[in-house]
Structure 1
Amino acid sequence: MTTDPATEDNQSAEISQTCTKSQESSDNITEGGKDKLLISIRDYVNDTTKKPQIGRVPSLLRESKNGCFDPLVVSIGPYHHGNPNLKAFEELKIPIAQKFWHACENKLSIELMYETVAMEGERARECYEKGSACNDDELFNRIMFLDACFVLYVLCTNLQEEEQNEVTERLVKSFYSVLRDLLLLENQIPLLVLKVLLKFRFRREKDQTPFKQKFPKPYILMPPHSYTNAVENFLARMKGRSTTSGQEMNKWKLELDSSPHLLHLLREHFVSPFMHEDSNKSLLFEWESRRSVTELKSAGIHFKPSQTGNFTDVEFKSHLIYGTLTLPPLIVDDTTKSFLLNLVAYEKCPHGPSDLHITSYICLMASLIHHPDDVKELEKKRILVSYLGSDEKLFQLFDEISKDLAPDSFSYAYANYQIENHCQKKLPAWVQSWMVEEWMHKYFSSPWAFLAVLGAIIALFLTAVQTYFTVFPRKT
């Protein structure tokens, strides 16, 4: 079949025109796409400075550790507001707000207090994820005001000295559940809101004398004298989980201006920069010990609690025939699982801390606890103080919360490196264990025991000398 040359020319012209239009369209699309790309990059850079400070629990973590991230008795903030299961305590917020208002030293009107909180409403809303806070400004401000009054009443009040009525009795009965709920990631209120009301509650901090008090029992505190002390005392209640000294508590320096919420503040007082890190981290990357407490004990390693209570305070010292592993003490109760996992969730959030100190601590403890007998040894050394009822439950707790968690590769790397070096010494493990248990612990556990051993050694030496001179008398 032949084709007319004129027809071929027309088809070629049409194809050429089509290609030209396509190229022009492509150029326009490319130009438009470039503009959109540059705009998106610019906007993304701007958005990074506005990340929510109070985020949601990552979905994968929630699915694997369900039941530890939702409030049991009280909702704080917008994420769980309106939950029908929390209605009982929602009804307490009005009378508790009244109690907080009556306790304010400045005796200002309730209207002024509310309006002052409402002025922070826009900044407070930016602390939550977009679309998570209610769109009604008045409702959001109401949530902020009532919830802040509730938190501060719990934070500042010694309930044992309060006049007992239906409100305080219900609060006292559920006190530990309330404390648990106040430390949930999704149950936080911006600290900027709390600070506004705290200034109504107390006189200016510079007018107050320093508040120093030891805390012999967790959760039992006297009313504070300044708003900084109020926050400090609240953290002391929660850090009562750890056996810390009153002297350390007096050294706390709270950075209220830079802390977004209470959970962040609490975390800052459970962690500190690693005090025993090796400078050459590249050499330690592969060092990860998986030896249990029982195995380490058989290798001549014994355990003792640290003095600071910080989760990062882990140190190993190798001596001539034995080693000492220092671990942070922890009080474990029914709320510990939720408490630790919410700190883990905070570390996993895009807006969260830049390190994984809490996650790494959990993984470290799980690597040491392979059996309830390991728990028993740590309890014996007062590293773990358990109120769970059995060693098996405490073993299961660390086993459950550590699943699917990945620690920082460098966390505790130097301690693990030293432990492995110690365990590879030529002295047989059973000899090290026997010498440590039977001699170091039994005979050198107190000054009197040491003096008794020393006296026995001197007596044996003198007896040997006397025997020698009896058998081989000196020639005269």
Structure 2
Amino acid sequence: MTSQMNEISVHVERTEPEQVLDECCIYRVPSKLRNVNKASYTPQLLSIGPFHYGSPKLKDMESHKQKYYEKFLKHCSKDEAALKRFVNQHLDRILSCYAGTIECRGNIINVILVDACFIIEMFMTDSETENHHILRSPWMRKAVEKDLILFENQIPYFFLEELYDFAISSRDSIVEPEIAVHPEPVQHQFLTLAWVNSYRSKLAGLTTKELKLTRFWATYDAESVIRNIMALEQLIYPKKAYICSYFLLLSQLVNTVEDIDLLIKDGVVENLLGSNKSVEKLINSFCVHIVEEISCYSDIYDQLNEHYKTSLGNRRMATLKQVYFKDLWTGSATILGLVVLVFSIIATIKSLTYHKR
């Protein structure tokens, strides 16, 4: 990396709207989504790409990236000048993948090159047999993994592939990174649906055909991953927003802590946060400012709404259970109140009968 750090602003001009629409895949998270939980979208340790490069709190990691870059140069088949020329040849296409204006402290070619080499070198390094600066620490590894999945913190994948093919000519002596390439986005494989037996009283006593959801593991690391996938879907896959649809549906089922209790009991939610109240707040916060254009669960919504309309008795029974028998103390108070009411009615009747005589 160059020692002279000049602030530059790169504005990507869109001359072919349709082509750019296909190429553009790395966005800044809209402020409405970001303000719900800024930390979930912001790298805490490591910057990748131009959006967060130069952030003071990420400065310490630059020396680690430089070490990986220098290590990459030692075993690649090209010198540094050739690598920089290669980046420059692809720079227009790389920048077209980023939406909006790019403001980056430093030489943009160096930023892209060092970050790309850092990622490739991490994949190629064996953390068990080599002095791995990052992966040998479980805490550091987890922090790096978390920052690498952030929507804003990316290098275009096509460039990583082409740089690897260009720079690593001898495949015999280098361990090729095992990166699974899926024909469709990974998030499309996240959810499954099935119809099963009895599920939940809130759905108005449905007993024959019920909804079963893929289990949600509520962990401390889940929030950042889910929010970034949902942001990606909102901007790139609005008509195939499977994760957004899943959590919008789940949030419709969760209004109280008692709802979480039932979801945990039925195996829909696995609570690793400790407090069920925390899980309830987390699930309902996911859908703040989320827009659903087309739900992959629309047929299920229709069936449940139709069942709700035609099941007056089940609705009343569900309301009775939720309001008057939601726990032991409420149920006991309800029964005691009914007993007092019955005795009061009997006493009143006896009193009226006595006066008539």
TM-score (norm 2): 0.69
1:125 aligned residue (77, 85, 95): 95
Is 1:391 equivalent to 2:276 in the alignment? yes
2:38 aligned residue (46, 54, 66): 66
Shift of 1:147: 1.1
Give 1:299's aligned residue: 205
Is the Cα contact below 8 Å between 2:191 and 2:214 reproduced in 1?
no
Assess, with a 3 A threshold, how the Cα gap between structure 1 residues 173 and 64 changes in structure 2: closer, same or farther. closer
Shift of 1:69: 1.5
Q: How far apart, CA to CA, are the structure 2 residues paired with 1:180 and 1:53? A: 19
1:151 aligned residue (111, 119, 139): 119
Shift of 1:190: 0.8
1:79 aligned residue (46, 51, 54): 51
Shift of 1:402: 1.6
Q: How far apart, CA to CA, are the structure 2 residues paired with 1:140 and 1:419? A: 53
Assess, with a 3 A threshold, how the Cα gap between structure 1 residues 158 and 362 changes in structure 2: closer, same or farther. farther
Is 1:379 equivalent to 2:231 in the alignment? no
Matches within 5 A, 1:198-277: 198-199=164-165, 200=167, 230-232=178-180, 253-254=182-183, 265-270=185-190
Shift of 1:63: 3.0
Shift of 1:183: 1.7
Corresponding residue pairs, total:
297
Is the Cα contact below 8 Å between 2:219 and 2:271 reproduced in 1?
yes
Deviations 1:366-423, CA, capped at 9 Å, x for gaps: 1111222322333334333332222221111012222232323543111122233445
Deviations 1:245-295, CA, capped at 9 Å, x for gaps: xxxxxxx7447xxxxxxxxx44344379x999xxxxxxxxxxxxxxx9452
Secondary structure (helix, strand or coil) at the match of 2:217 reads strand
Instruction: Give unpaired runs (5+ residues) of structure 2.
Output: 1-12, 319-357
The amino acid across from 1:299 in the alignment is G
Secondary structure (helix, strand or coil) at the match of 2:274 reads coil
Deviations 1:160-214, CA, capped at 9 Å, x for gaps: x2434654445x322222222112221111112211233355977xx9xxxxxxx
Deviations 1:97-143, CA, capped at 9 Å, x for gaps: 244456x6xx524434454344322321222235315497xx21211
Q: How far apart, CA to CA, are the structure 1 residues paired with 2:149 and 2:42? A: 11
The amino acid across from 2:110 in the alignment is R
Is the Cα contact below 8 Å between 1:57 and 1:185 reproduced in 2?
yes
Give 1:360's aligned residue: 245
Q: How far apart, CA to CA, are the structure 2 residues paired with 1:44 and 1:121? A: 14
The amino acid across from 1:92 in the alignment is H
Assess, with a 3 A threshold, how the Cα gap between structure 1 residues 101 and 411 changes in structure 2: closer, same or farther. same
Q: How far apart, CA to CA, are the structure 1 residues paired with 2:32 and 2:119? A: 29
Assess, with a 3 A threshold, how the Cα gap between structure 1 residues 150 and 135 changes in structure 2: closer, same or farther. closer
Instruction: Give unpaired runs (5+ residues) of structure 1.
Output: 1-42, 208-222, 233-251, 256-264, 277-291, 302-321, 434-476
**Structure with greater contact order relative to length (CA < 8 Å, sep ≥ 6):** 2
Matches within 5 A, 1:430-469: none
Give 2:349's aligned residue: none
The amino acid across from 1:68 in the alignment is S
1:108 aligned residue (77, 83, 86): 77
Q: How far apart, CA to CA, are the structure 2 residues paired with 1:226 and 1:186? A: 26
Q: How far apart, CA to CA, are the structure 2 residues paired with 1:267 and 1:426? A: 36
Assess, with a 3 A threshold, how the Cα gap between structure 1 residues 426 and 191 changes in structure 2: closer, same or farther. closer
The amino acid across from 1:385 in the alignment is E
Does 363-372 or 59-68 show the bigger shift? Answer: 59-68
Q: How far apart, CA to CA, are the structure 1 residues paired with 2:169 and 2:191? A: 29
Secondary structure (helix, strand or coil) at the match of 2:300 reads helix
Assess, with a 3 A threshold, how the Cα gap between structure 1 residues 110 and 368 changes in structure 2: closer, same or farther. farther
Is 1:93 equivalent to 2:65 in the alignment? yes
Larger radius of gyration: 1
Identity within the alignment, %: 24
Is the Cα contact below 8 Å between 1:323 and 1:422 reproduced in 2?
no
Deviations 1:292-340, CA, capped at 9 Å, x for gaps: 94523x7145xxxxxxxxxxxxxxxxxxxx2331212333322322222
Is 1:328 equivalent to 2:214 in the alignment? yes
Does 421-430 or 364-373 show the bigger shift? Answer: 421-430
Give 2:141's aligned residue: 175
Is 1:55 equivalent to 2:24 in the alignment? no
Is 1:195 equivalent to 2:161 in the alignment? yes
Secondary structure (helix, strand or coil) at the match of 2:212 reads strand
Q: How far apart, CA to CA, are the structure 1 residues paired with 2:87 and 2:297? A: 44
Q: How far apart, CA to CA, are the structure 1 residues paired with 2:150 and 2:215? A: 22
Deviations 1:220-247, CA, capped at 9 Å, x for gaps: xxx9x755xx222xxxxxxxxxxxxxxx
The amino acid across from 1:231 in the alignment is I
1:348 aligned residue (189, 211, 234): 234
Q: How far apart, CA to CA, are the structure 1 residues paired with 2:262 and 2:149? A: 30
Secondary structure (helix, strand or coil) at the match of 1:129 reads coil
